[in-house]
Chains A and B, each alone.
Chain A
Amino acid sequence: MSTADEKSRKAAAQPSGSIPTAEEGPAPADTAGGKVMAFFFIGLAASLFVGWIVFPKLLYSQKKQPIDFNHAMHVQEVDNGCESCHFFRPDGTFTGIPKLDKCLECHEEVQGDSAEESRFVNQYAQKGKEVPWLVYAKQPACVFFSHVAHVRMGKMDCAACHGNIGESQHTRVYEQNRISGYSRDIWGRNISGFKRHTWDSMKMADCAACHKRAGVHQTSVQTGKGACFVCHK
């Protein structure tokens, strides 16, 4: 019979990574298993760190809007709320972000003492150059979206999808997805996809959920759910 010391010496002589035999006892297996678990957890922790922290940072580039626009101040100055600048044309199409012409209705000359306003007037208004605004709410080109169907016919509030942007005093950083090229606002700030407000994300699931609640064309022959062609023409 060999002593315990001998056993441990024998175990130590085993080539690393080989499977311990049954008669060699449980103690060395515990040590190896611990190591395996340790590596597993290191891997797990590292990948979770990468997946949750590093990846979102890498995925989005940070861009500044060309002009720091003050919505709150403009809303106070105009009579008709959001629709003063973001209005429907007579044919029912929506203007979206106003073109320079609309801005020029007031800003042909500098109106106030804001540095951003005078920058706007000098760099864009006087040169007749459109401001290359970055559009947070821009959907991929394969999506057909009609504002009039939602705002006029569906009686939805602007904030339901756009949040309280009308109260903002500064433009947010525009985070652009490096792969798809669209804004982070579409997926939502929360990388896990959970949302607290209706406007937190605007993915297809968000559209579909609302369409289901409102009973918009839940008539797809294939899926029995919302009809694809409502949005994908």
Chain B
Amino acid sequence: MAFGIGGAVGTALSPLPWKLTDDLSIWTQNWPWTPVPPHGEVTQVDSVCTLCPGGCGISVRKVEDRVVKIEGMPGHPVNDGGICLLGASGAQLLYGPSRIEGPLKRVGRRGDGRWQPVSWKAAVAEVAGKLGVLRSGGEPHTLGCLLRSDRGTVPGLFSRLLTVFGSPNLMRMPSIQDTYELTLYQMQGALALPGFDVDNTDFLLSFGSGYIQGWGSPVHMFRAHSRWRNRGGRVVQVEPRLSISAAKADDWLAIKPGTEAALAMGLSHVIITESLYDRDFIENRCRGFESWVDAEGRIQPGFKQRVLNTYTPAKVSEITGIAAADVVRLARDFAKAARPLAICGRGRGRVPGDLGAFMAVHALNALCGSIQRAGGVWAVPEPDYINWFQPEMDKVAATGMQQSRLDGAGGPQYPLARYLTSYLAEIINAGKGYPLKALLVAGDNPAYTLPAGGNVRKALDSIPFIVSFSSFMDETTRMADLVLPNHIYLERLEDVPLAQGFSRPLVQLCKPVTAPQFNTRHSGDVVIDIARALGGSVATAFPWKSYADCLKETLGGNFQKLMRQVYMVGRGTGAPGHNAAFETASGKFEFTNPEFKIRPDYEPIEAEGDAASFPLVLVPYDSMRLASGFVADSPFMVKAVDDTVLKGRDILVEINPQTARKYGLADGAIALLRTPRGKARVKIYHFEGLMPGLVAMPTGLGHSAYDEYIGGKGVNFNRLIGPVQDPVSGLDAAWGIRAKLTRV
């Protein structure tokens, strides 16, 4: 005991306890597993975010070569310093665990996830070998290629490869761009992209568009929304659900889903009857407003006639469920605003939609003169800087290119559509046309993003050779035979030819912010490599030493300029004016294009399924906190998802309490959701902001691939819905699907 006391006194008189306490406190405040930004030189590199088509400028803060923060680029015309949740968490995509570290070859069964790393040389040789067989067998058209976008040099290289190879089957992923492009072509004769001058509008009428939920260029829309708030602009949201966009609007009109076109026509009715339309524009710049006599001497009803005959407020009220008085009031407010703008494309605009409805909304804009003027819709010219020499095609390629497209786009049934990617799976599964023997997938994740996910997987499974160019181990890549991972946007050089929905033409340059983390390779370079390995006329179409050379040559003098300043605003920087914009045969805005006889109208698109077995209707909703496109959520975003959307691993579906009571579904209960396309386990969330009879489900969840932070949470909406064809354009116009909820 004395020894102990002596020891204690001695210890107290020695530095041991004090030093130990100090060291332990330092240790506990600096856990070795807590990441600490490295010390070093801090630099800021400006580039472009390509995680969505919004085209925001980003300013990336680096310490040495490590990316530590991504902010919006100040002064950028699209986002001026602003950034969204996904853009801000881009560093997690760069350093996250789902990156593919090098070229991989499948060794197990499809989808087993067993891979063998291979060299780039061997991988390219394998692709060239497999594709070479198709060419030598005289069936080059059985090669398909799925891309996210068809603009810019990298899609350009893929497209060129397919052309000289001999396949017409280049497909772009569907979106409202498809329908808006057709609308502009029909009514303005322009091969153009829609631009919305949201900065200058003072009345936004949104037909279900999630204008602050990812529609158009998301951050640009946020900024515009703030401006409307500050300057007293008005926003009216028309949709069946109290979305964030509806909640932030000045007025929310709950409409029966799928009837938006009828409302647009009804508003036109009031505007025409009360003579509130832009007389100068209608009389001098438009055709087809009044009835006319065609070449055969028959009287063709004009837009005015059809609207006045069919879409009275009472009739529209019956179709849409919106009171006739509200229709009249909204029409007056819209027409009397100085610079009104109507937009459409539901939610984020993932589904193309029906052409008649888009044209009805565009006609509404035309009535108020909101075409090609400040605060209106502008036709933004297609980027025109890619002027490569015409490639020489050998006989095999020429014969292959004569084949009709597998998806039927541009064919006898749907001559207008450029791409009908949503139906590819159905066509393959039904054994129509010819079988696809090889598929290249770049920049998208069709197994997740296309409707009827089950069918898509089945279709992919029937394709003997799939090559994925994805940087991430996503759902489609898991089904690939060969993975040729691209650099991610922070590691690569690439032109970004447009900013979706932005009113001016914008060419931007995404440049490497940091060195590639892994043994990845630029897809542009890989396409050139494959072409070279194929030899012959395919190789001679690609004379560039590397993708960088190709890009420099393509951009010419602008390359250095873009390297310095990231973006260039192209021609047509002011409101483009009316004269140059209408490239129709008449040189005027066409309410009904006489060539195609396609006109603005309301044609009901029914939800798939029979009402007897499926009494409810399932509709999707998009949110800024869930990336529903080719990029999955970042782990950071998953943390930001409300527990009214995702709780644990369960997805919550919204249902009106009144409907829920009818089916005995308590708040928080687990239920089985069935649609004609599939079923899923869901949790019930009573939400009075949703129209009775509907069930609303968030998009962007339910990834089965990726990592533990992203995968295995909730349900993928695309698995539960199938495409519903617009009879006019052939594009997918599904807005919902019949559904049934049962308690489990």
Question: B-contacting residues of A (Cβ < 8 Å)?
Answer: 35-48, 50-52, 55-56, 59, 89, 91, 93, 95-96, 99, 140-142, 177, 179-182, 187, 191-193, 203
Contact = CB atoms under 8 A, between A and B. Distances in A.
Interface string B1-45: 111111111110111101110111011011010101001111000
Contacts of B26: 140, 179-180, 182
Given A47-B14, A55-B19, A193-B18, 8 more contacts: A40-B3, A42-B6, A46-B7, A47-B10, A56-B15, A140-B29, A140-B30, A179-B26
A191 B15 contact: yes
B30 A46 contact: no
18 contacts: A35-B2, A39-B2, A44-B10, A45-B6, A47-B9, A47-B10, A48-B10, A50-B10, A51-B16, A52-B14, A96-B39, A141-B30, A142-B30, A177-B23, A179-B20, A179-B26, A180-B27, A187-B22
B15 A192 contact: yes
A47 B42 CA distance: 49
Contacts of B39: 96
Nearest to A47: B10
A-B pairs with lowest CB-CB distance, top 8? A51-B14, A43-B6, A47-B10, A39-B2, A40-B6, A43-B7, A44-B6, A43-B3
Nearest to A53: B14
A182 B32 CA distance: 12
Contacts of B30: 140-142, 180-181
Contact of A180 (B2, B10, B23, B36): B23
B5 A43 contact: yes
- In which size bucket is the chain B interface? 20 to 34
B11 A47 contact: yes
Contacts of B8: 43, 47
B36 A48 contact: no
Contacts of B11: 47, 50-51
Contacts, number: 101
A52 to B, nearest CB: 5
Contacts of A96: 39
B36 A36 contact: no
Contacts of A44: 6-7, 9-10, 13
A61 to B, nearest CB: 13
A46 B8 CA distance: 10
Contact of B13 (A48, A93, A142): A48
B10 A46 contact: yes
B24 to A, nearest CB: 6
Interface string B335-374: 0000000000000000000000000000000000000000
B41 A93 contact: yes
A177 B27 CA distance: 10
Contacts of A47: 6-11, 14
B150 to A, nearest CB: 41
A191 B460 CA distance: 70
A59 B11 CA distance: 15
Interface of B: 1-11, 13-16, 18-20, 22-24, 26-27, 29-30, 32, 34, 36, 39-42
A43 B29 contact: no
A40 B15 contact: no
A101 to B, nearest CB: 10
A14 to B, nearest CB: 18
A93 B9 contact: no
Contacts of A50: 10-11, 14, 16
B2 A187 contact: no
Contact of A179 (B13, B24, B36): B24
Contacts of A55: 14-16, 19
A50 B7 CA distance: 10
A37 B13 contact: no
A43 B42 contact: no
A99 B40 CA distance: 9
A111 to B, nearest CB: 26
Contacts of A191: 15, 19
B3 A39 contact: yes
B37 to A, nearest CB: 9
A45 to B, nearest CB: 7
A48 B10 CA distance: 5
Interface centre among B1, B3, B36, B42 (most CB of A within 10 A): B3
A41 B6 CA distance: 6
Contact of A181 (B15, B18, B32): B32
A45 B11 CA distance: 9
A48 B7 CA distance: 8
Contacts of B10: 43-48, 50-51
A187 B15 CA distance: 12
A207 to B, nearest CB: 14
B15 A179 contact: no
A180 B612 CA distance: 70
Interface centre among B8, B13, B16, B36 (most CB of A within 10 A): B16
Interface centre among A40, A140, A181 (most CB of B within 10 A): A40
B157 to A, nearest CB: 33
Given A48-B14, A51-B13, A141-B36, A59 B23 contact: yes
Contacts of B14: 47-48, 50-52, 55
Contacts of B41: 89, 93, 95
A46 B19 CA distance: 18
A4 B5 CA distance: 34
Nearest to B6: A43
A155 B20 CA distance: 35
Interface centre among A45, A89, A180, A182 (most CB of B within 10 A): A180
A56 B13 CA distance: 14
A52 B17 CA distance: 11
A37 B2 contact: yes
B5 A40 contact: yes
A191 B18 CA distance: 10
A20 B9 CA distance: 27
A52 B42 contact: no
Nearest to A41: B6
Contacts of B40: 99
B2 A52 contact: no
A187 B19 contact: yes
Contacts of B29: 140, 142
A52 B7 contact: no
Interface centre among B5, B8, B14, B18 (most CB of A within 10 A): B14
B19 A39 contact: no
A135 B500 CA distance: 50
Contacts of A192: 15
A91 B42 CA distance: 9
Contacts of A141: 30, 34, 36
Contacts of A142: 29-30
A42 B15 contact: no
B698 to A, nearest CB: 37
Nearest to B41: A89
A86 B242 CA distance: 60
Contacts of B22: 187, 203
Contacts of A42: 3, 6
B3 A52 contact: no
B672 to A, nearest CB: 50
Nearest to B29: A142
Interface centre among A43, A55, A95 (most CB of B within 10 A): A43
A151 B24 CA distance: 31
Contacts of B2: 35-40, 43
A120 to B, nearest CB: 21
Contacts of A48: 10, 13-14
A93 B42 contact: yes
A224 to B, nearest CB: 23
B424 to A, nearest CB: 48
Interface centre among B7, B13, B32, B42 (most CB of A within 10 A): B7
